[in-house]
Amino acid sequence: MTRERFDLLICGGWVIDGTGADRYRADVGVREGRIAALGDLADAQATQVIDARGRIVAPGFIDTHTHDDRYLSIDPGMAAKLSQGVTTVVTGNCGISQAPWRPGWRREVPAPVNLLGNDASDFPFASFGAYLDHLDRHPAAVNAACLVGHTSLRAAAMADLDRPATATEIDHMQVLLREALQSGAIGLSTGTAYPAAMPATLDELTAVASVLRDHGGLYASHIRDEGDRIFEALDEAFEVGKAASAPVLISHHKLIGPRNHGRSEQTLAHITEASQRQQVALDCYPYVAGSTILRKDRLAVSSRVIVSKSVPYPEYAGRDLHEIAQHMGLTPEDAVDALQPAGAIYFIMDEADVERILAYPGTMIGSDGMPHDPAPHPRLWGTFPRVLGHYCRVVGLFSLEQAVHKMTGKPAAYFRLPQRGRVAVHHAADLVVFDADTIADTATWASPTSQAEGIDSVVVNGVVAWQAGAGTGARSGRVIRPERR
């Protein structure tokens, strides 16, 4: 018998395959970027060997909610993500994507599109296809699956964003979305909670989203209201999804403000009921604070506000808003104006809601990290190890197999990412080797970019991209184009 030969052999670990099934002992043989064999491969030869004894071998994690559109190009090592075991990021969430953009069309980058870049020159792609081609030609260390943002479509099609789109503008957005889906976008996101998309009516949303029906693709919604009017907002997202025959993804599901704390019991029941009629899933990050642009309407519902970025006052990043306001001799409201463009972290949620939503079977894990903030929310560096360490091992919210499923097999199936999210023969060799006993987030409010512990190795398309606490320099990520229905 000839000895089998692999490019990479991961030996002696416990495989958690991403389906939710129980772990089992197996070696993993990788050839030409794919998983070629599973089982007892003690007799095989390999160019490179990873000793995984005492470790878990799982599919690489899929970060279902990111704003990494431009981070992929400007920091292709993607350390914030790779260091957590993430091998695929879903970009273009909350209605904002780096493409398409009309060069010369507007000088100012409207909020919240400016979460991705402050300057018009940060948006060089006139079409979504051009953006994906660029990523194809300049791969990052992780894979990307890319959504198109409705607010970005508005910014390309409309001169003024403070009103509903006209029929001609809707036509224009449909053309841009069609081009994006044909080029390999995985779907459409909206963010009607933000002023730049707030005036969009249900008719505008359903008209734009209707393009999804012909091309496949998912509908991700940062819903209009995560506070007092959350049920209407959820129903609007369900409506849009139904009209477009598209699976719905409710982004970063949460309940904002003390008055709404505890209501996740009802929202989850409502979501379960909707999922009898249509496909619905959620994503969630494992923290009681949110983060987005700095806005006054969040102050009253937050118990604490930390400024994560200020373009005119970079020295204030990482400090509490009330402290900054005192220092500037302003009211907190006036300080919000003075600091713009700016980002912030808001303590607005209740721990019981976070845990209930995380544990819900329809929930996937998405960091919503802000890679361009100088003092980012710690979710950028900590989300996945925090779910596996704190919420799985310490709190016992779910089994390790269930936690891994929420990060791998479930999102791969929901986003229709072909041959991803499972440890199975013929699947892409996106893999993470970690220590279930020590995996932990270390990023905190005070030290938000601290690297997680317990991740041994991360493999992206068969290439070792992270090992011994550092990136290897590999850039083996790809654009993942979806399977079409």
Residues that bind Zn ion (CB under 5 A): 94, 222
CB of 425 vs Zn ion, minimal distance in Å: 37
CB of 464 vs Zn ion, minimal distance in Å: 33
List all residues 6 or more positions away from 126 whose beta carbon is below 8 Å from its beta carbon: 99, 100, 101, 102, 103
Smaller CB distance to Zn ion: residue 94 or 230?
94
What sign for the dihedral angle of Cα 109, 112, 118, 123? negative
Smaller CB distance to Zn ion: residue 6 or 194?
194
The secondary structure of 435-460 as a DSSP string is -TTT-B----SSSTTPPPBSEEEEEE
Give the length of the chain.
Answer: 485
Smaller CB distance to Zn ion: residue 222 or 372?
222
Q: Residue ranges of the alpha helices (H) in 96-166?
A: 128-137, 150-157
Closest residue by beta carbon to Zn ion: 94
Choose among 24, 12, 54, 13: nearest CA to 401: 24
CB of 292 vs Zn ion, minimal distance in Å: 7
Choose among 69, 77, 80, 75: nearest CA to 381: 80
CB of 453 vs Zn ion, minimal distance in Å: 28
Report helix, strand or coil for 88: strand
Smaller CB distance to Zn ion: residue 150 or 222?
222
CB of 190 vs Zn ion, minimal distance in Å: 10
Q: What is the DSSP letter of 427?
A: S
Smaller CB distance to Zn ion: residue 215 or 347?
347
Smaller CB distance to Zn ion: residue 222 or 422?
222
CB of 47 vs Zn ion, minimal distance in Å: 43
CB of 366 vs Zn ion, minimal distance in Å: 10
CB of 213 vs Zn ion, minimal distance in Å: 24
* Terminal-to-terminal C-alpha distance of the chain: 43
List all residues 6 or more positions away from 40 whose beta carbon is below 8 Å from its beta carbon: 26, 27
Q: What is the DSSP letter of 483?
A: P
Smaller CB distance to Zn ion: residue 9 or 188?
188
Smaller CB distance to Zn ion: residue 222 or 406?
222
Q: Residue ranges of the alpha helices (H) in 222-378?
A: 230-243, 264-274, 321-328, 332-339, 351-359
